[in-house]
A and B are shown apart, each in its own frame.
Chain A
C-alpha cells in the first residue's frame, strides 16, 4: 500500500511564501484531484511532491519515507510524472519517447534492449494508442502527445502517478478520453494518482478525492461530494455557482447568472 502524505509543507520563493502549511493524504486506487485558481501553488506542490523542489519546512512522504531522502533513481521507479508539456524539441518517435521511461535503470553507456522497446509498444497498446508507436512525437496532436507521455509514465511501473493539468490544451473528447484512461488504470493497477485540474466538472466526474488550494493553503480536502460544493467553489474561485445532480455522472457545476444572463462573481 503506497500512501502519499504531505505533512505541514511550507515553501517560499524569494518573492514570498507559495505553500503555507499544506497537508494532505492520497490513497491507492484513488484519483485525487488538486484544484485551485492560477497561482494557488499547485505546480509548486507538485514539484515538492516529486522532490524537484525542497520545501523549507514539512515533508512529503511515500509509505512513510520522505521523498527527499529517496535516491532520484529509486524515486523514478516509485513515482512517475506526466508533465503538462514536454521539453522535447527534437523529433523522436512515440516509442522512443516511451522507452525513455527505462533511463533510470540504465548506466550512461547502456541503451534499452529489444524487450524494452517491445514493452513500450505494449504499454501504448494497453491505453489504446498503439498506432502512434512509429509516428513522430512532434507531429502528434495535443491529445496524442498527452497519451504518449501517459504511456511513458506507466512504463516506469510506478506506484504513484502525478499528472500536471493533463487536460490543458485538449479538445472536449480528448479531455474525457485521457481522464477516463487515467481513472481506469488507477483502479486496475491500484495506483495513487494525483492530478491537477481546472474544471470542477471534470474533477467531479473523474476524481475520488479533492484537495482545494487557495493562495497556498488547503481549504477543502475530502470526497468530491463533500468538497466540491457551492460554498467552497465560491470561496476558492470567487464565482457563484449552482451544483446540480447527486451522482458523479450527472453532477454539474454551473455558474449562476442574473436575469440578464451575466455571470455573478
Chain B
C-alpha cells in the first residue's frame, strides 16, 4: 500500500514536470496556448489565434526532446540499478564500468564511418559498450574480485576508450565532424528528432519493459555468485541477459544524446532510500525518479541564461557533489563489505 502511494506520487511528479517542461523555454508558450493547441488537435477550431508557430515548436522541438529526456533518464537509472545489483556493488554505474565510454567510442566510430545510418551508430555503440563492460568484468575477475578492483578496472577501461575517442577527434574533419562529435560527447538533447525518439527511445522503452518483467530475479543475483548458485540459479546465463539489457539501454541513450553521466549512479541510491533494495520495487521507482531528474535538468539546461548548456555538464555538476555527500553519509555501509 505504502509502495503504491509512493509510486503514484512519483508518477504524478513526472507528469507535472513534463507539463512544466512543455511551457518553459525560449519560445513563449503559456498554459493557455497549450490548452488551445490540445483543443484544436481534438477538432475544436480556435478562431483568432495563430497556432502554427506554437504547434511547430511543440511538435517538432519540445515534445520529442521531452520524451527522449524521460526515456533516457529512466533507461540510464535503471541500467545503473541493474549493474549495481549484478555486481553487488553500490558504487558501479554505466559510467564507472566503462559502458558509457565504450558506447561513446562506438557511436563516434559509427558517426565517422556511417554518418547517415542511425542503426549503424546504434549498433556500433551497443557492441563497443558490451566490449567495454566485458573487459572491465574480466579485469575485475582476474584481480582480487573486490569492489575496489572492479572500480579501478572500470577506470582503466574508461581511460582506454576516452583515448580512442580523442584519437578519433583529432583525426576527424575539423569543420564538419569535429564540432558535431565534441558537442555530442558532452551529452545533449539539443538535436533530438522524432527519428531518434523512435529508434533510440524505442529501444530504451523495450529494455525498460523487459527489465520490469525480470526485476525480481535481480534479488538473488545481488547476493553474489556462490549464494546464487547454491540457490539453484544459472548465474552466468542470467547475468549475461541482464548485462545485455542494461548495455542496450545505455548505448541506445548514448548514440543519439551523447554521454550523460552520474544519473545511473545517483538515482538508484536515491530510489533505494525510498524502497529498499528489493528490485521488484526499486526498478519502477528508479525509472520514474530518473525520468523526473533528467527532465528537470534538461529543462534547466535549455533555459539557463547565457544560452543552452550541454545537459551532461549539468548532470555532472549536480551528480558529483550529491554522490560525494552520499558517500560521506553512508561511509559505513558502502565500503565495509566486499
Q: Roughly how many angstroms separate A90 CA and B213 CA in the complex, as a whole number?
A: 21
User: In this assembly, does A88 line the interface, its C-beta being within 8 Å of a C-beta of chain B?
Assistant: yes
User: In this assembly, does A8 line the interface, its C-beta being within 8 Å of a C-beta of chain B?
Assistant: no
Are the CB atoms of A108 and B241 closer together than 8 Å?
yes
Are the CB atoms of A90 and B238 closer together than 8 Å?
no
Q: Which of A79-87, A195-203, A223-231 contacts B (4 or more CB under 8 A)?
A: A79-87
Taking A96-B219, A108-B241 as contacts, is the C-beta distance between A90 and B272 under 8 angstroms? yes
CB interface residues, B 287-338, toward A, < 8 Å: 333, 337
Taking A91-B276, A93-B276, A108-B241 as contacts, is the C-beta distance between A52 and B229 under 8 angstroms? yes
Taking A87-B224, A109-B214 as contacts, is the C-beta distance between A92 and B219 under 8 angstroms? yes
Q: Roughly how many angstroms separate A110 CA and B233 CA in the complex, as a whole number?
A: 13
Interface 1/0s, chain A 79-121, versus B by CB < 8 A? 0110100111111110010001101111011111000000000
Q: Roughly how many angstroms separate A104 CA and B232 CA in the complex, as a whole number?
A: 5
Neighbouring A residues of B277 by C-beta, 8 Å: 90-92
Taking A83-B227, A87-B226 as contacts, is the C-beta distance between A109 and B213 under 8 angstroms? yes
Q: Roughly how many angstroms separate A109 CA and B215 CA in the complex, as a whole number?
A: 8
Q: Roughly how many angstroms separate A74 CA and B230 CA in the complex, as a whole number?
A: 11
Neighbouring B residues of A111 by C-beta, 8 Å: 215-217, 280
Interface 1/0s, chain B 70-88, versus A by CB < 8 A? 0000000000000001001
User: In this assembly, does B234 line the interface, its C-beta being within 8 Å of a C-beta of chain A?
Assistant: yes
User: In this assembly, does B41 line the interface, its C-beta being within 8 Å of a C-beta of chain A?
Assistant: no
CB < 8 Å neighbour of B278 from A87, A92, A138: A92
* Interface residue SS majority, chain A: loop
Are the CB atoms of A112 and B216 closer together than 8 Å?
yes
Taking A87-B226, A90-B272, A108-B238 as contacts, is the C-beta distance between A77 and B232 under 8 angstroms? yes
CB interface residues, A 2-60, toward B, < 8 Å: 47, 50, 52
User: In this assembly, does B220 line the interface, its C-beta being within 8 Å of a C-beta of chain A?
Assistant: yes
A190 to chain B, nearest CB (A): 21
User: In this assembly, does A73 line the interface, its C-beta being within 8 Å of a C-beta of chain B?
Assistant: yes
User: In this assembly, does B90 line the interface, its C-beta being within 8 Å of a C-beta of chain A?
Assistant: yes
Neighbouring B residues of A110 by C-beta, 8 Å: 216
Interface 1/0s, chain A 132-166, versus B by CB < 8 A? 00001010000000000000000010000000000
Are the CB atoms of A87 and B227 closer together than 8 Å?
yes
CB < 8 Å neighbour of B230 from A83, A89, A91, A96: A83
Are the CB atoms of B233 and A104 closer together than 8 Å?
yes
User: In this assembly, does A194 line the interface, its C-beta being within 8 Å of a C-beta of chain B?
Assistant: no
User: In this assembly, does B231 line the interface, its C-beta being within 8 Å of a C-beta of chain A?
Assistant: yes
User: In this assembly, does B222 line the interface, its C-beta being within 8 Å of a C-beta of chain A?
Assistant: yes
Neighbouring B residues of A104 by C-beta, 8 Å: 231-233
Q: Can you show 23 pairs from A to B with CB atoms below 8 A apart?
A: A50-B230, A52-B229, A52-B230, A72-B229, A76-B232, A80-B230, A81-B227, A87-B88, A90-B90, A91-B272, A93-B276, A96-B278, A100-B219, A100-B231, A103-B219, A105-B232, A108-B217, A108-B238, A108-B241, A109-B213, A111-B217, A138-B333, A156-B232
- 8 interchain residue pairs of minimum CB distance: A76-B232, A104-B232, A87-B224, A90-B277, A111-B216, A81-B230, A103-B220, A109-B213
4 more contacts with CB within 8 A, not counting A83-B230, A103-B231, are A76-B230, A88-B88, A91-B276, A105-B232
